[in-house]
Structure 1
Amino acid sequence: MKELPGRRTPTSKVFQLADGRTEAELSSDPIHFQASNGTLRPIDTTVKASRASGFSLANESNSFRSFFGTRVDELVKFDLGGHGMTLGMATTKALTPSAAGDTVTCPDMFGDADLVYQVGPDQLKESIALESAPAGPTYRFSLKPTGVKAVEQSDGSIAFHPASGFPRPPAGSELTGQALGATDRLQRGDALDLCIAARRVTRWRIAIGWRAVRSLGAAVPADEA
């Protein structure tokens, strides 16, 4: 049995059996990403050293690219076909993130609270890991969009639309986001002030997900560690 790479799709692969028949494996999550030469290659969510200026770690073998910075004002950059955003905080303090597999840790970002990033095949999950349960936790970030503009919706969600002068995003991608269980406030301008006020904290962890493929940004405090 051997794989037929030319018949790959983002969520499937096809094998040639010894008797001449073919067999397909299907996945509900993306398993391949489109490389710069147009071919589909297996997704690998391992975070590795980066040569990108200002970013010491990165994952580029995925349906999107993520870069992890060496300064607090550029914590992480999320890129989907030239569209995306850079998330940071209002300080230029130096940062030394560490990586293990698909996970990046930025220690003591909010007092004793760590920022933990986990790269998935279609999303980048950011968790705020706390040593103890805080009272009324609120966390502020600065979000700098690239090739998209953010518009606050009447229901509290955030929609990301392609900005004028930029190409449309990759086929199958939607530039929309939704905030659930959090309070998000936007200020007009090139950079956006994002305030995450968790309504419930379980096991002293708050999760914020940035999703590719189906959306570029979704700030969602989760109920599980």
Structure 2
Amino acid sequence: MIAASLISTSLLNNTTAWGSPPSERSTLQESNISDDSKLTSNTPKEIDSLRSEKSKTFLNENGTYTTQISETPIHYQDSSNQEWKPIDNRLNTTSQMAYNEDKFTIGLNSVSESNPVKTTQSISSTKAAGIVTDNVMKYKGLYPDTDLIYTLGNDRLKEEIKLSKKPTGKKSVIYSFALTLGNLDYRQEQDGSVSLVNPSTGDTEYIIDKPLMYDSFIPEGYQQVEGVNAYPEESLSYDIHYELKEKKGQLYI
């Protein structure tokens, strides 16, 4: 039986999209905190004062400089002293919540609600306990053979519904969840993504990327690139879309 996953990602704090799948930037999975204990006398030394939101600069042994530039933010600006600090995606845990407050504040319940994601299948959900590993929160067994996974990136949150077995029946399976709009409007874009817009300024505050799904098929000869979470083209499908409905300040997706 082939396992499958449905992925949607939300860009946070009015950031720029990362580009289209199948390649996810490694920053979605890895913390940016460096380990200075591994540095040697010949190792280029980072100059903290030359940091920017998406770059870091190193002084080389020969007196030259090397600047590394990222497509996504790797630093956040500390409001207390305006210094650029590395974004640490690891979730902090309490008895009730996992949270992160580096570039933006986000909180995930330690135990899922009874039905945070609804489905058209005739199955019951459970209050699954969240399992935190670095920047990932997994609600294992939310539905039978179904996990709900959140991955915190530097500028986005990825939601993944992972199926370990193929759904039964001939009808399409629909998953839905409710989003509180607050004072924001929404707009479905031509590419299938959803923008959450500040009606006062017209600025896009959040972006929900177009969804995709992939299965566990790995073609013969496929090679994984180290540091990049990529999906083989043969396992990808874009035959999936959002349907939107607003009711009493809630956006149902």
Q: TM-score range by the shorter chain?
A: 0.5 to 0.7
Distance 1:147 1:42, change over 3 A: farther
Count of residues in correspondence between the two structures: 173
Name the counterpart of 1:28: 71
- What does the per-residue CA deviation read over 1:47-90, in whole Å, with 9 as the maximum and x for residues that have no partner? 22148xxx5111223x4433111454599xxxxxxxxxxxx457
2-structure distance, mates of 1:133, 1:140? 18
How far 1:134 sits from its partner (Å)?
A: 1.1
Matched, 1:162 2:198: yes
- What does the per-residue CA deviation read over 1:87-110, in whole Å, with 9 as the maximum and x for residues that have no partner? x457xx855211012211112222
Distance 1:154 1:31, change over 3 A: closer
Distance 1:44 1:155, change over 3 A: closer
Structure with more strand by fraction: 1
Matched, 1:59 2:100: yes
Matched, 1:188 2:247: yes
Name the counterpart of 2:108: 68
Q: Which runs of 5+ in 2 are unaligned?
A: 1-43, 119-125, 212-239
1-structure distance, mates of 2:250, 2:111? 17
- SS of the residue corresponding to residue 134 of structure 1 reads coil
Matched, 1:104 2:137: yes
Name the counterpart of 2:236: none
Name the counterpart of 1:144: 180
Name the counterpart of 1:115: 148
Aligned with residue 11 of structure 1, among 32, 51, 54: 54
How far 1:156 sits from its partner (Å)?
A: 5.5
TM-score normalized with structure 2 length: 0.56
AA partner of residue 191 (structure 1)? Q
Distance 1:168 1:98, change over 3 A: farther
Matched, 1:44 2:84: no
Distance 1:183 1:176, change over 3 A: closer
Correspondence 1:174-185 to 2 at 5 A: 175-180=206-211, 181-185=240-244
- SS of the residue corresponding to residue 104 of structure 1 reads strand
AA partner of residue 137 (structure 2)? V
Distance 1:149 1:33, change over 3 A: same
- SS of the residue corresponding to residue 133 of structure 1 reads coil
- The structure whose RCO (Cα within 8 Å, separation 6+) is larger is 2
Name the counterpart of 2:230: none
TM-score normalized with structure 1 length: 0.62
Name the counterpart of 1:209: none
Pair member with larger Rg = 2
1:152–1:186 contact (8 Å) kept in structure 2: no
How far 1:179 sits from its partner (Å)?
A: 3.6
How far 1:14 sits from its partner (Å)?
A: 1.3
Give RMSD over aligned pairs.
3.3
AA partner of residue 246 (structure 2)? Q
Distance 1:179 1:148, change over 3 A: same
1-structure distance, mates of 2:57, 2:191? 43
1-structure distance, mates of 2:163, 2:47? 46
Distance 1:114 1:177, change over 3 A: closer
